[in-house]
């Protein structure tokens, strides 16, 4: 023990958490653009202008214009909003359900736990895109069904993380004591244990958010999910496909935005994790 303590001190040097700073900056900027995009965009996102088709990026059109002469920057701003809305709802649904199911299975164990774990294994067994496609084709397209199907696909990972944390804490001395006090099970689950898994869960939420953004873009790229004329990053990428050589900025703008968002959230989760430790 003593030995370990001495060696631990090596890692305890106070360093500035650059991951967190950079992550906060990148995601903050995106969030700002997304919220701004709801109320105001430089141009109307659906206003077409035949004279300005495929205009290269300039001060007039920051990211250029697309095949209908629409301002790409305005559409990216709106697209971020759409993508963020869908992916955060997905994480909210999947994460919320993950907490409830994971808490119960992890805390009680036994047959229920075993059964649910096998179900999550089965869901994990399918490639996630394929599974989403199947669910969407059964339920039909549209944003609501896209959110629903992505939530189902994302749920197992949340369940597993929450479950393993609850298993870790269910036999901790202070939980045993809470039981001895006569504390109710629901209170033990959500008041006594849940706050302790917060930092772990936050990390998985940021990672989940990342994956949800990628998944939404992928789905819209494939043509299910967001329908035109609503802008979404994935849909824009898909539309830009035909003009890669003539108007590369059309694909680059939404593409790089996705990269920026994903990188921002990755840095943020890394930052949170290193801070939690």
Residue ranges in contact with other proteins by CB under 8 A: 1-3, 6-7, 9-10, 12-13, 109, 111, 114, 172-184, 187, 192, 195-196, 198
Spatial CA neighbour of 162 closest among 127, 197, 122: 197
In 81-204, the DSSP E strands lie at none
CA atoms within 13 A on the CB side of 232: 28
**Please, what is the minimum distance in Å from the beta carbon of residue 114 to other proteins?**
5
**Please, what is the minimum distance in Å from the beta carbon of residue 171 to other proteins?**
10
CB nearer to other proteins: pick between 7 and 50: 7
CB nearer to other proteins: pick between 80 and 203: 203
Q: Tokens 């696909």 — which residue?
A: 153
Q: ∠ CA(203), CA(123), CA(141), 5° rounding?
A: 90
**Please, what is the minimum distance in Å from the beta carbon of residue 124 to other proteins?**
19
R_g over Cα of the chain:
23
40's CB contacts (< 8 A; 6+ apart) are: none
CB nearer to other proteins: pick between 109 and 141: 109
CB nearer to other proteins: pick between 125 and 173: 173
Q: Tokens 């430089």 — which residue?
A: 42
**Please, what is the minimum distance in Å from the beta carbon of residue 191 to other proteins?**
9
CB nearer to other proteins: pick between 128 and 183: 183
State the Cα torsion 87-78-269-101 to the nearest 10°.
Answer: -20
CA-to-CA distance for 188 and 190, rounded, in angstroms? 6
CA-to-CA distance for 153 and 62, rounded, in angstroms? 37
CB nearer to other proteins: pick between 122 and 176: 176
Q: ∠ CA(240), CA(258), CA(40), 5° rounding?
A: 85
CB nearer to other proteins: pick between 46 and 183: 183
**Please, what is the minimum distance in Å from the beta carbon of residue 205 to other proteins?**
18
**Please, what is the minimum distance in Å from the beta carbon of residue 261 to other proteins?**
31
Q: Tokens 């629903």 — which residue?
A: 148
**Please, what is the minimum distance in Å from the beta carbon of residue 24 to other proteins?**
23
Helix (H, G, I), strand (E, B) or coil at 109: coil
CA-to-CA distance for 196 and 202, rounded, in angstroms? 11
């Amino acid at each position: 023990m003593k030995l370990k303590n001495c060696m631990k001190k090596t890692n305890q040097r106070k360093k500035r958490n650059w991951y967190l700073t950079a992550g906060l900056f990148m995601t903050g900027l995106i969030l700002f653009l997304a919220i701004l995009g709801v109320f105001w965009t430089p141009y109307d996102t659906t206003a077409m202008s035949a004279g300005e088709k495929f205009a290269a990026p300039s001060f007039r059109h920051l990211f250029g214009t697309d095949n209908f002469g629409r301002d790409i920057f305005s559409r990216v701003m709106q697209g971020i909003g759409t993508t963020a809305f869908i992916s955060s709802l997905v994480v909210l649904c999947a994460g919320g359900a993950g907490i409830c199911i994971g808490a119960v299975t992890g805390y009680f164990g036994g047959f229920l736990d075993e059964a649910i774990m096998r179900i999550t294994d089965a869901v994990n067994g399918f490639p996630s895109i394929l599974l989403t496609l199947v669910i969407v084709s059964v339920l039909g397209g549209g944003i609501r069904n896209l959110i629903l199907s992505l939530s189902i696909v994302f749920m197992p990972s949340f369940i597993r993380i929450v479950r393993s944390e609850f298993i870790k804490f269910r036999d901790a001395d202070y939980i045993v004591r809470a039981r001895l006090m006569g504390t109710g099970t629901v209170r033990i689950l959500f008041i006594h244990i849940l706050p302790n898994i917060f930092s772990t869960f936050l990390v998985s939420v940021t990672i989940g958010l990342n994956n949800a953004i990628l998944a939404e873009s992928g789905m819209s790229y494939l043509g299910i999910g967001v329908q035109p004329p609503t802008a979404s990053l994935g849909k824009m990428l898909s539309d830009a496909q035909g003009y890669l050589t003539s108007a590369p900025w059309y694909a680059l703008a939404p593409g790089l935005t996705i990269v920026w968002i994903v990188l921002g959230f990755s840095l943020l989760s890394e930052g949170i994790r290193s801070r939690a430790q």
